[in-house]
Structure 1
Amino acid sequence: MRKSAGFTLLEVLIAVSVAAIGIVGVLELFSGSSHLARASVRQTDALVLARGVMDETLWRSDLEDGAESGSEGPFRWHVEVEPYEPRLGAPEGEETRENVSNDYELKRVRVRVEWGPPSSPQSVELVSLRVMELF
C-alpha cells in the first residue's frame, strides 16, 4: 500500500464548501450590523433635528397656538402648540382650579420628525410644556 502525501479532490471540495458557507455567514453578519448602524444614525439624526426644532419653538417669546411643518434633508418635521390644562384635584378625578393663579398658562409643544416613505414612515416624537405669563 502506498502512502499519499496530498489531499483528494473530494477533501478539497468539502473544505472549500465549508469555508464558503462560513464566509457567507460572516458577510451576512456584517450586512446586518451595517443596516442597524445606518438605522441608528438616521434615528439619532432625527432626534437631533427634533431637539433643535423643539428648542427653537420653546425659545420664542410669542408662542402661539397652531401647527407648523417643514423639512430638512430626508426628514419632515411637524410642530403643534396647544394649551395644556393639567388635571388638578382629588385622586378620584375631580378637577378644580382653586388657589391656582390665572396669571400663567401652560402650552404643550409636540414635535414629530418623520423619515422614509410616506406610506410607512418612521418617526420620533418629543413633547414638552412651557409656562407662559399672561399679560
Structure 2
Amino acid sequence: MSRCRTRSRGFTFVEVLIALAVASIGLLGLLRLHLLSTATADAAQATTEAVFVAQAQIAEALACGFPKQGSTSGAVERNGQTFTWTTEVRDVARPGGRDATARGLREVATTVTWNPSLDPKTVTMTTLVADTRIHERKTP
C-alpha cells in the first residue's frame, strides 16, 4: 500500500504574512501621501484667504477715489486664522527723476501676514491708481 500524497492548493501562513506586510507598507505610503495633500490644501486655503484680505483692503483704499498718502493696519480673523494687514499709499517716483514723483499717480501696497505653526507667511499685493480729477493749471 503506497500512499500518494496530494499537495493542497491553499496559501501557507508565511505567504499570508508576507502579503500582509507588503500591503501594509503600501497603505502607509498612501497614508503619508494623504497627510501631505491635506497639509498642502490647508496652506493653499490660508494663502487664498490672505489674497482675499489683501484685495479687500486695496478695494477699501480705492473706494473713496484717489487715496491719501499714509499707512493703515489691522487684523482680520477668517476660518480660525488671524491675518494682520498693512496698507501703504505712497506717491510713485518718476523713472530716472531724482526724488521727483509722478503727478497724480500713487501706489497702493497691502501686505498680509499670518502665522501657521510658528512659520510666518506673507502675501503682498500692489496696484497703481491715477488721479482722475481734472487738474487745472494756474496761469500767472
Structure 1-normalised TM-score?
A: 0.80
Matched, 1:3 2:10: no
Pick aligned residue for 1:82 from 82, 90, 95:
90
Q: Distance in 1 between matches of 2:94 and 2:63?
A: 22
Match for residue 121 of structure 1? 120
1:82-104 deviation line (CA, Å, top 9, x unaligned)? 111221xxxxx5x49xxxxx9x4
Moved over 3 A (4+): 117-120
Structure 2-normalised TM-score?
A: 0.77
Unaligned runs of 5+ in 1: 88-92, 97-101
Amino acid of the structure 2 residue aligned with 1:33: S
SS of structure 2 residue aligned to 1:26: helix
> What is the Cα deviation at residue 107 of structure 1?
1.2
Q: Distance in 1 between matches of 2:118 and 2:31?
A: 31
Identity of aligned residues (%): 33
Map residues 32-51 of structure 1 onto 2, 5 A cutoff. Answer: 32-51=36-55
Matched, 1:112 2:120: no
Q: May I ask how many residue pairs the two structures share in their alignment?
A: 123
> What is the Cα deviation at residue 6 of structure 1?
2.2
SS of structure 2 residue aligned to 1:29: helix
> What is the Cα deviation at residue 108 of structure 1?
1.0
Q: Distance in 1 between matches of 2:90 and 2:107?
A: 5
SS of structure 1 residue aligned to 2:71: strand
